[in-house]
Structure 1
Amino acid sequence: MVKKRLIISGCVFGLCLLAGRITVVKAEEIPIAGIDLVLNNYYVSAGEDNLNFKNYIESDYLRQCQNVAFAKVTDYVNIRSEASEEGQILGKLYTKSAATILGSKGDWYKVKSGSVTGYIKGEYLTTGADALKLVGELGTRVAVVNTTTLKVRKEANTDSEVLTLFALGDEYAVKKELDGWVKVAYEGDKTGYLSTDYVEVKTEFEEAVSIEEEQERLEEEQAALHTEQTGKDRQGSASNTTNNNSSSSSSLRDSIVQFALQFRGNPYVWGGTSLTKGTDCSGFTQSVFRNYGISIPRTSRSQAVGGKRISLSDLRPGDLVFYARNGRINHVAIYIGGGKVISASSPKTGIRVTSYNYRTPYKAARYIND
């Protein structure tokens, strides 16, 4: 009996029952439990007439899909400690951000998104079938390499030319999904095909921001206003620390990249600055640059305004690339060349190398004076 492998992550769209066989029109991943649940390795026989498809789609998949919700607001909705307007504000779910529904109380939903668990009034959430329609629009599809070395093909077949090699843990934006292959972007405008046998394809969504994170953002924005001018002074100081000729600058950039790469795989710790015991994204960049006598601000938002803003098309190894959520910078990485960056990404992945455009870059800044 020939079996067709149907990899399902979260829930499935567009499944049809035709004459005793299953036709998969489109399968999508919907991360739901904590917005990162991945269900895979389910096998469906193409010839099993006794498969009750109605029961299949009404099983755990459908119930789990119903737990996905998106903010239905123009800016944000508050997440409260109880199902009442009097409840303490614990965080904010911004427009187009996702949450997992944990339960309900009256016309309120108990939700979890990011680090925040609390209540949101139902009228401010898109749920159920309407939420499913938004998954493709609001989610970002990425492919994560899960083998030591993966060949990138020019076409979607194993006989095609090998364009380059990707390493374990590398993450790339998915441009197109085919049967057994995904087309990904890398090194700027280059594209290639990866076998789905060696990547995990997932959907990522924006999540809620806690009140503590929001307060930190406001403080950073205030500090950034004072940092912009002093950042120029820092850049001048850095140029005194290193030789200003192009040969020396190139050598410095290469050295920074090699220094940063040796910490790949080390842990992510929010608020940390240790390259070995744990650091967050901005602590990582600050600590790497400090090793070369280059002083940069502590937070990603301050780092974004403290250096010289450059075009993404002008990126050179050692430059910083910034990413944003709802227009607010929330991540920074070091460009290492070849269309890749290294950063302290998350508690799950630690310090890792990814394609620079695995998320849409927001801006770039330079602290190395050329």
Structure 2
Amino acid sequence: MIWRPTLKNRAKQLAVLGMTAALIFSNMSIDASAASSNKVKTVLPQAGITYALGDNQVSLSALQQSVDENSPKTDNSSSVSTSKEANSEIANSSAVTDETPLASTITENILKDIQSATGAVIGKKDSSSEGASTAEEAEEERFKSLVIAKVNDYVNVRDLPSEEDGEIIGKLYDKSVGTFIEEENGWYKIKSGTVEGYVKAEYCVTGEDAVELAKEVGTRIATVTTTTLKVRSGPGLDEEVLGLVPIEDELVVEEELDGWVKVSIEEGDGYVSLDYVTLSTEFVEAESKAEEEARLAKEKAAREAAQAAARKGTSKNAESSGKTSYNSASSYTTDTSSIGSAVSQFAQQFVGNPYVYGGTSLTNGADCSGFVMSVYANFGVSLPHSSGADRSVGAAVDGLANAQPGDIVCYSGHVAIYIGNGQIVHASTASTGIKISNADYRTVLAVRRIF
């Protein structure tokens, strides 16, 4: 015979449940998802204790209901009253929920991308060990193992911890991420990308100082994998469609939810389903001396080819629309002005023309990347019909402060042409068409130079 203890008094049942819950929560990690559940992986504490229930977990209120169903029935009115009051208290309690709250997984994903970018392993602290009682503490321990450059441009990476004897083998650019190996006489030995060497500690942060900065240095990107992606006003298929984004475009992720991500597009912030994007995190990592030389040579060759094509292949006749005629690209190309300035002036004459999703016509309608592509086509330069792909064309320019007319300015899901004086010309939205705006009206992801 198996002995099964019973509790006749419901108030005692609730008391035991409460004590059990307290013991459980005092000895468990903040990551409270079931081991067999793959829906909730990480829950970071926000205020007090934040927890989530996985597929195979139950809440205290569910346990209470199970006990009630298996308990002997009684006609004792005081017992029933006590049970109702206790049930009401549990139902009104903000500490217990039967629903799995939305939980961001961006931190864990960023850590994986940091490991991939730096080529080194960031160790996880055992969640059961002392000093790692919360997911936040474990995250901070991992961030402490990073070395992040904090300079205007870059800090040299040397093969030895000495400016006199150490040969320069690479560069760790501003906000680049490396993994700490050891410290020696004011130098940090790091590994980042293909580069392993020493950087002066005074130009970098690590340990406690790297914790907050590490959360800012990565850019979380959602790359579209479907032909036309609908960006909605809320995380649901019934929500209003804010805008459309073509395949392979890249959107900056503002927040990650359960099955959805919040992204930034020209029409504003919206939501897209994880079924139609792939997520990644972009980091600036160290560049070896050989990699830098190869990149510069490639950019120089591409620039010279573009300049030759522009002088030789500029269109003699621009598009016409009805009674409106436009000047050709060749009419703006002179010996005294740069080709970039010619691109800027040529593009501005189409202000007021319509925006058409997927379009490439400067007169009858183009979308943002179609506009940039068609403008440059008139100068003999072939560009991709994708705002995401435009982020890797030409050569990198260090921010808007160094932009020149004709440069390509890239945003989340959008692209434009810089015209000088802090302004851009771009095919904005269906409601505004091609127009001129301030270049800093949104966060700039990259500035690229063709000529």
Q: TM-score, normalised by structure 1?
A: 0.54
Please report how far the alpha carbon of residue 185 of structure 1 lies from its aligned counterpart in structure 2 after TM superposition: 2.9
Please report how far the alpha carbon of residue 238 of structure 1 lies from its aligned counterpart in structure 2 after TM superposition: 0.1
CA distance in 2, matches of 1:305, 1:212: 30
- The 1:164–1:220 alpha-carbon spacing in structure 2 relative to 1, beyond 3 Å, is closer
CA distance in 2, matches of 1:154, 1:66: 37
Please report how far the alpha carbon of residue 114 of structure 1 lies from its aligned counterpart in structure 2 after TM superposition: 3.4
Please report how far the alpha carbon of residue 164 of structure 1 lies from its aligned counterpart in structure 2 after TM superposition: 5.4
Match of 2:49 in 1: 18
Match of 2:312 in 1: 237
* 1:153 equivalenced with 2:238 (yes/no): no
* 1:32 equivalenced with 2:105 (yes/no): no
Contact 2:131 2:137 in 1 (8 A): no
Matches within 5 A, 1:265-304: none
Contact 1:333 1:341 in 2 (8 A): no
Match of 2:208 in 1: 129
Contact 1:147 1:168 in 2 (8 A): yes
More strand by share: 1
Match of 2:97 in 1: none
- The 1:94–1:335 alpha-carbon spacing in structure 2 relative to 1, beyond 3 Å, is same
AA paired with 1:96? K
Please report how far the alpha carbon of residue 176 of structure 1 lies from its aligned counterpart in structure 2 after TM superposition: 4.7
Query: Computing the radius of gyration over CA atoms, which structure comes out larger, 1 or 2?
Result: 2
Contact 1:143 1:202 in 2 (8 A): yes
Matches within 5 A, 1:1-370: 5-6=39-40, 14=45, 18=49, 28=107, 29-30=110-111, 31-35=113-117, 54-55=132-133, 57=135, 61=139, 63-85=141-163, 86-101=165-180, 103-107=181-185, 108-145=187-224, 150-163=229-242, 166=245, 169-177=248-256, 180-186=259-265, 188-196=266-274, 198-215=276-293, 231=307, 234-239=309-314, 244-246=317-319, 308-310=342-344, 315-319=371-375, 334-336=383-385, 341=389, 355-356=413-414, 360-363=445-448
CA distance in 2, matches of 1:159, 1:18: 33
Contact 2:226 2:246 in 1 (8 A): yes
Gaps of 5+ in 2: 1-32, 54-100, 122-127, 322-337, 351-370, 394-411, 416-442
AA paired with 1:334? L
Contact 1:309 1:363 in 2 (8 A): no
Task: Note the alpha carbon deviations across 1:278-331, whole angstroms, 9 max, x for none.
Answer: xxxxxxxxxxxxxxxxxxxxxxxxxx977844389874334569xxxxxxxxxx
Contact 1:144 1:170 in 2 (8 A): yes
Task: Note the alpha carbon deviations across 1:31-53, whole angstroms, 9 max, x for none.
Answer: 3214379x9xxxxxxxxxx9999
Please report how far the alpha carbon of residue 214 of structure 1 lies from its aligned counterpart in structure 2 after TM superposition: 4.0
AA paired with 1:18? I
CA distance in 1, matches of 2:131, 2:179: 26
- The 1:191–1:109 alpha-carbon spacing in structure 2 relative to 1, beyond 3 Å, is same
Identity of aligned residues (%): 34
Secondary structure at the aligned position of 1:317 is classed as helix
Deviates most, 168-177 or 125-134:
168-177
Please report how far the alpha carbon of residue 94 of structure 1 lies from its aligned counterpart in structure 2 after TM superposition: 2.4
CA distance in 1, matches of 2:226, 2:149: 36
Contact 2:171 2:288 in 1 (8 A): yes
CA distance in 2, matches of 1:334, 1:359: 20
CA distance in 1, matches of 2:341, 2:449: 9
- The 1:52–1:122 alpha-carbon spacing in structure 2 relative to 1, beyond 3 Å, is closer
CA distance in 1, matches of 2:316, 2:183: 64
Which structure has more RCO (C-alpha within 8 Å, separation ≥ 6)? 1
CA distance in 2, matches of 1:173, 1:135: 17
Secondary structure at the aligned position of 1:123 is classed as helix
CA distance in 2, matches of 1:61, 1:320: 46
CA distance in 2, matches of 1:319, 1:208: 34
- The 1:21–1:141 alpha-carbon spacing in structure 2 relative to 1, beyond 3 Å, is closer
Gaps of 5+ in 1: 40-49, 249-303, 322-331, 346-353
Secondary structure at the aligned position of 2:373 is classed as coil
Secondary structure at the aligned position of 2:234 is classed as coil
Contact 1:319 1:334 in 2 (8 A): no
AA paired with 2:156? N
AA paired with 1:173? V
More helix by share: 2
CA distance in 2, matches of 1:68, 1:6: 27
Please report how far the alpha carbon of residue 100 of structure 1 lies from its aligned counterpart in structure 2 after TM superposition: 2.5
Contact 1:235 1:307 in 2 (8 A): no
